[in-house]
Every structure is written in structure tokens, then in C-alpha cells.
Amino acid sequence: MTEVWTVGRVVRWAADDFRARGIENPRLEAELLLAHALGTERLRIIVDSERALSVEQLAPFRDLIQRRRKGEPVAYLRGYKEFYGRVFRVDKRVLVPRPDTEILVEAALRRTPTTSMGGRYLDLCTGSGCVAISLARTRPTCKVFAIDVSPEALSVARENAIRLGAAHQLAFMAGNLFEPLAASRDLRFDLITANPPYIAERELASLAADVRAFEPRLALSGGEDGLLVTRPIVRGSAAYLRSGGVLAVEIGAGQADTVKALFTETGFQEVEVDKDYGGHERVVSGVLR
């Protein structure tokens, strides 16, 4: 009880503990969690490394450490995740937004330059709403329809849209892929984006524990080959895209060639593949002519 626990000492202790448990980026996670427990920014943790902490300040940090040891994702512990320059609320109802999904947003924006001053967009498997809201905030005159099969996920997405000032641009719809649009067959979009579940069923067991045990399986499992949801997205999109409209879909490792062929079979031209920050093929996009 007489020991002095400074910010720096606490971070080192937590980082060593995480490292011993095989957690990636142990020091970063320790700094993020301590900052969250103290209600401050990570920069203050780095700058104030010699500041002594009280027992009362350490208590919430200990709770976070215990939960992280059990595998709970840092994003769930903090309650938010940064994506495309904005902070999104997240919890166990939605998949944690990944930096690689920013490539989906960038590809969609790059391939729709003529609709930058307007347009009607559709985001399937919207989850936390990170893609739909990022598109809306980047293109403030567009209208975005966001669909997800999970009503719980849509609740999170609606909250994010309100918090981030995009609610007036978004229409949220619950249902499986294009089903909520069945009554509006004349509706056409300039852009359709999707980050579907694309992990093959046999690969789920090999995912990191914090993903496998905590993130919603509905947002991860893509069936036997990982393309159970991707196929109907590509094939069904032709009925809802205007001529010259763009489809952009996030994919998993090793799926690029199959998905490119699917795009071509469906009538898409100028099919392109974008790589993520790690150099992996991550997004397939094409134009419907």
C-alpha cells in the first residue's frame, strides 16, 4: 500500500501482462485503457508518465485489465472506435470497424466523382453505420439508405448517425440485403457498398479470441466458402443500380479472383481491386453499364 504507482509504471505493468498473454500491441492497449479509465487522452498518459495515481483512480483500470484478459476487445471496453477520422460508438451488437474497411469508403468515393454533389447511395450490412455515415459526411448532399439484418445493429448505427450529424441524410431499414427495397423496384442507386460477412465457416475457429468469442457471429460467418452473402449482393445489385452506377464490396483473403469473375458475369465493367494497408486485396468494385 505504500508503493507509488505512477502512470508510467502502471502502463509498463499492464503492457508486460498483456505481452505475456500474447496480446498484440500490448503497450498501445495499456495506454488506451488507462486513458479511458482516467477520462483523458492517450497523449496525456505519455506526457504525464511520472504522475502518481490514487487507489480510486486505479480501481476502474483494474476492472478493464480483468476484462481484457478474458479477451474482450479494447473497442468494446472503451465503447468507441475511430474510423475514417470520426469516433463511432460500438458494443457487442456490432462488428468493430477495421482500418482496412476505410479502403471500401475510399474506393467508393473515388469511383463516384460525378455524383459528388448529390446522389443516392445504398450501404448493405451496415453494422455500426461506419461506412454509410462516412459517405454521408463526406458527400453532404447525398442520401444514404442503410440496411442490416440485425435490428440491434441498426440501433447502434442510428445513434452514431445522430451523434455525428448525419441523421438527416440516412434512412435505416431492417431486413436481409435487398428485401426491404422489394416494394420499390423502381428505386435506383448511384452507389452500392457492402462489407458482408466473408469468413469461411472452417476459418472461424482460427480467428483471434477477442474476435471469435465477442464479436457477433452474424457479422463474421460467410458460409462454407465465405461468399454466402457476397454472391446475392453482387447478383442482386444490378436491379438497383442505375446505368453507370458503382458497386464496391469488401472481401476476404483469397477471394478477389472469384468475386471479380462474379462481377463480370453480372455485367459489371472496369472491375478493379484495391489493396488494404497490409497489401492484401480487400475491395472489389465495378461499374454497371
pLDDT at 29 over 70: yes
pLDDT at 26 over 80: yes
pTM for this prediction:
0.91
Sheet order of strands, 189-194 included: 170-174, 143-148, 120-124, 189-194, 241-250, 281-288, 268-275
The whole-number average pLDDT for the span 257-270 is 97
pLDDT the model gives residue 186? 82
Q: Which of 27-36, 53-62, 189-198 has the lowest mean pLDDT?
A: 53-62
The CATH code that applies to domain 80-288 is 3.40.50.150
Counting every residue written for the chain, the total comes to: 289
Q: Decide if 194 contacts 130 (C-beta within 8 A).
A: no
pLDDT-derived band at 115, boundaries 50, 70, 90: low
What rounded mean pLDDT belongs to the chain? Answer: 94
* Bigger pLDDT: 123 vs 2: 123
- Give me the phi and psi of 38, to 5 degrees please: -90, -5
Residue with cell 468494385: 285
CA–CA distance, 175 with 194 (Å, rounded to integer): 14
Instruction: Give the start-to-end residue ranges of the domains of the chain.
Output: 7-70, 80-288
Over the stretch 66-92, which tens digit does the pLDDT of each residue have? Answer: 999 999 999 999 999 999 999 999 999
Domain 7-70 top-level CATH class: mainly alpha
Over the stretch 196-212, which tens digit does the pLDDT of each residue have? Answer: 999 999 999 988 888 99
The whole-number average pLDDT for the span 245-249 is 97
Residue 154, Ramachandran bin (φ over 0: left; ψ between -120 and 50: alpha; else beta): alpha
Q: Which amino acid is at 42?
A: R
pLDDT the model gives residue 253? 93
> Which among 61, 176, 190, 55 has a CA at the least distance from the CA of 116?
190
pLDDT at 276 over 90: yes
pLDDT the model gives residue 113? 79
Q: Decide if 126 contacts 148 (C-beta within 8 A).
A: yes
pLDDT the model gives residue 184? 80
Q: Decide if 245 contacts 266 (C-beta within 8 A).
A: no
Residue 206, Ramachandran bin (φ over 0: left; ψ between -120 and 50: alpha; else beta): alpha
Q: Which of 70-84, 108-122, 158-172 has the lowest mean pLDDT?
A: 108-122
Over the stretch 129-159, which tens digit does the pLDDT of each residue have? Answer: 999 999 999 999 999 999 999 999 999 999 9
Q: Which of 21-25, 90-94, 106-110, 170-174 has the lowest mean pLDDT?
A: 21-25
pLDDT-derived band at 2, boundaries 50, 70, 90: low
